[in-house]
Structure 1
């Protein structure tokens, strides 16, 4: 089952419409969609530009450009951002499309057909080079200067030059807990080891509570919940990835990956939904928020608003993934992986730059970034709008942070990685076959890009 988020189409007047491809109807405002599904309309009013808004683009000429990005969990917030920008630049229409499961495949199809979006997503790390030829160098742009110093250079190329994208959120990976479920089962501390995790699952089962909502219909859940086993399982993760791409190393050489990672998947499978491959993001969040399940996988602070929308009284807790018998290895992973890029050949390049610079420098844009409910990419003076971010910041300051790790490989690989584990969960691949397929994909998908 593939998860698609239907975004809201924003128009100047109360008219109905639907986009097909990159274009849009004339006189439209900022529009958003999810692939080719239908949309609804909402009115917006023009207003004078606030401070930080650029005016060096098209002036009063009608302009449309296309924003195709992943991370549909932020669709509602981005729609609000686009509504506000419509007040700043009434003549600019931003056609917004978002998806998650199919994003890498869909983006490559668009690029191969010569239809590069004006704004698109990628990860940092290896994908910087993959999409560099399509990306505008943002060096010296206000958007780059507004970023936290630690991530201002995170989108440089392999030679340490340029700025080929920007982060609007940071990432944190961990297990989200419904604390009320833990309390009902008599669990007083979050599990730090695999043995403790297994014991807590038994306590939850005895209390009549489903331990896990797994979300395994989504390939990226495997990426974001199993990366701690990969990064903690080797001494130097960058070297490990390079050796896997060349075939110089093997998963069989690393116990935490070969054994512990599969043990974790087996524990979850034995303690989750009866049909785990039908559990998508929406059903996982619903089960977790309503107390049907105690733990949710693959999510970060970005999920908090969705959970609270389902149950405003949800008692949220957050912790790292138990990966071994060493509790010190149980850390929340932190970093910045997802980035947005600007098409260097955009027909409306200046208008696109005006938009992203307004996003990061205007009072509204800075407030939007600070209150997104995720790890902010700009300085917020230690003020966070998310309980999960506060928990994570306190936890990582005490226990350190795990390596986010995912950017060392492209999403094309991670999609194959997740699909391999879906086959393992289904039973069509054995553990040995799953390892063999992952190793083959590492060489064929990633090694071929060297």
Structure 2
């Protein structure tokens, strides 16, 4: 009995010492035991499908440095309607912590959900072209993703095969080049007119951006002081659309984004209406292909036509009611200030940086970005404007549907322009 009692006392003593030991360890490590680490999960809704793989890799680098943070990326891009998908998420309660907003009218749409980012360290470094779209009442609500541009991307080898030595900068020169390609047995254009973004945002933007004063024209159009059917620039613009249809592949309305890009990379056409966002895909599909940018001319005014549309596609934003919004802001700041993040932006994403602290490297960015930078440096640019339209994407998607009706010969040019006017009148009335 005495031996048993001594053993029990010894066991109690050991247990007490273990308890003291554990308590001391917790105090010594400031409560940072594995069981005490609090993990924050950031949900990111990404619209940039072209960089999805690279973004996943960058996130892994961040998580390795910040083991207390878990980042979940969901990507919606290419043929996915990001704006509609984002609205569906919010209406269902599945609100991402980080998402994208395009600026101007899109800023107004999402304003009540956005965290004020004005005090973030990168704000002072935003490029001039990227400031206005996401600034309201002097406050900044988004971090610019990058600077992009589009036009006709041309296959240099196919141009050489057709004997084209002078790059087309006017509508007549573009028609001549298309005819020369066609006579050489080469399809001039691969048109992705099954995608409303290519039509309603990018192609139609040319008609607005080539006005004498685009912003004033849009404001006057909203107020009913201008018209589309009687506008010379819009009528000129139809000639460009007709040219691409005359020298494009059959059934362009059945060609989506991926089919368009893969067909171009396979050498099935000499030109494609796209932007530098397809650089990563082209490198993956055809790493040895040589290509560059051409403008989208609507008449023969060479000085006015030799320009490319340049702008900021979207902005990273933080949901202001997110429980992890501080972690979200920390991740965005790391992405544009750390050496790893800056390297990924230029070398992996192939982005033209929208922050002055990240230097663009033409050799690392690729030929498309290099051409855009040259146009920017020579001040040969025109603006992106659809973010200023009344109704924003409702407007552009409706006008794209009208364009598709014209492409399929359901309506005439006059009817197309008249329907554009009707859409603008309706959306302007709703906005007022």
Normalising by structure 2, we get a TM-score of 0.84
> Where do residues 169-184 of structure 1 align in structure 2 (5 Å cutoff)?
169-184=146-161
Does residue 209 of the first structure (1) align with residue 191 of the second (2)? no
Residues 176-205 of structure 1 deviation map (CA, whole Å, 9 limit, x = unaligned): 000111111111122111111111111111
Deviations 1:98-156 (A, max 9, x none): 22341222222333344432112221222222211111110021242443355345411
1:228-267 matches, within 5 Å, as 228-232=206-210, 234-257=211-234, 259-267=235-243
| Alpha-carbon distance in structure 2 between the residues aligned to 1:91 and 1:424 | 55
1:91 positional shift: 3.5
C-alpha displacement at 1:61, in angstroms? 1.4
Q: Equivalent residue for 2:6? A: none
Segments of 5+ residues of structure 1 without an aligned counterpart are: 1-58
The residue aligned with 2:253 is 277
Could you report, residue by residue, the CA deviation over 1:360-406 in whole angstroms, capped at 9, with x for unpaired residues? 11111111122221321123445232221212222343362112223
Match of 2:366 in 1: 386
Following the alignment from structure 2 to structure 1, what is the Cα–Cα distance between the partners of residues 336 and 114?
Answer: 19
Contact residue 420 and residue 437 of structure 1 kept, 8 A:
yes
CA contact (8 A) 2:229 2:418 kept: no
In the other structure, the counterpart of 1:408 is 388
Secondary structure at the counterpart of residue 174 of structure 1: strand
The answer (yes or no) to whether the contact 1:337–1:406 under 8 Å persists in 2 is no
SS at match of 2:116: coil
How far is 1:316 from its partner? Answer: 0.8
Please name the residue that 1:122 is paired with: 101
> Secondary structure at 1:373's aligned position in 2?
coil
TM-score using structure 1 length: 0.81
Contact 1:69 1:120 (8 Å CA) reproduced: yes
Q: Does 1:295 align with 2:275?
A: no
Question: Following the alignment from structure 1 to structure 2, what is the Cα–Cα distance between the partners of residues 444 and 108?
Answer: 22
**Are 1:311 and 2:286 counterparts?**
yes
Superposed displacement of residue 427, structure 1 = 2.4
**Do 2:229 and 2:414's aligned partners in 1 also have CA atoms closer than 8 Å?**
no
Cα distance, 1:304–1:362 mapped onto 2, change above 3 Å: same
2:88 corresponds to which residue? Answer: 109
Give the match's secondary structure for 1:368. helix
Name the residue aligned to 2:335: 359
For 2:92 and 2:351, how far apart are their aligned partners in 1? 34
How much has 1:446 moved relative to structure 2?
4.8
Whether 1:320 aligns to 2:295 is: yes
Change in CA separation of 1:441 and 1:111 when aligned onto 2, cut-off 3 Å: farther
Partners of 1:173 and 1:225 within 8 A in 2: no
- Name the residue aligned to 2:46: 69
Question: Partners in 2 of 1:166 and 1:277 — Cα distance?
Answer: 35
Q: Does the C-alpha gap of structure 1 residues 191 and 113 become closer, same or farther in structure 2, counting only changes over 3 Å?
A: same
Structure with more helix by fraction: 2
TM-superposed deviation, 1:168: 1.6
Deviates more, 1:67-76 or 1:274-283: 67-76
Structure 1 residue 375 and structure 2 residue 352: aligned? yes
Shift of the 303–206 alpha-carbon distance from structure 1 to 2, 3 Å rule, reads same
Aligned-residue RMSD, C-alpha: 2.0
The CA distance in 2 between the partners of 1:109 and 1:436, in whole Å, is 32
Change in Cα spacing, 1:366 to 1:399, as seen in structure 2 (3 Å) is closer
Question: How many Å separate the matches in 1 of 2:309 and 2:182?
Answer: 28
Matched, 1:225 2:203: yes
Instruction: Determine if contact 2:147/2:311 at 8 Å carries over to the other structure.
Output: yes
Q: Which has the larger radius of gyration?
A: 2
Partner residue in 1 for 2:143: 166
Distance verdict in 2 for CA 1:212–1:403, change over 3 Å = same
For structure 2, the 5+ residue unaligned runs are 1-35
User: Could you say if the C-alpha distance between residues 83 and 422 of structure 1 is closer, same or farther in structure 2, counting changes exceeding 3 Å?
Assistant: farther
Match of 1:88 in 2: 65
**Moved segments of 4+, more than 4 Å:** none
Partner SS state of residue 140, structure 2: coil
Deviations 1:20-62 (A, max 9, x none): xxxxxxxxxxxxxxxxxxxxxxxxxxxxxxxxxxxxxxx9312
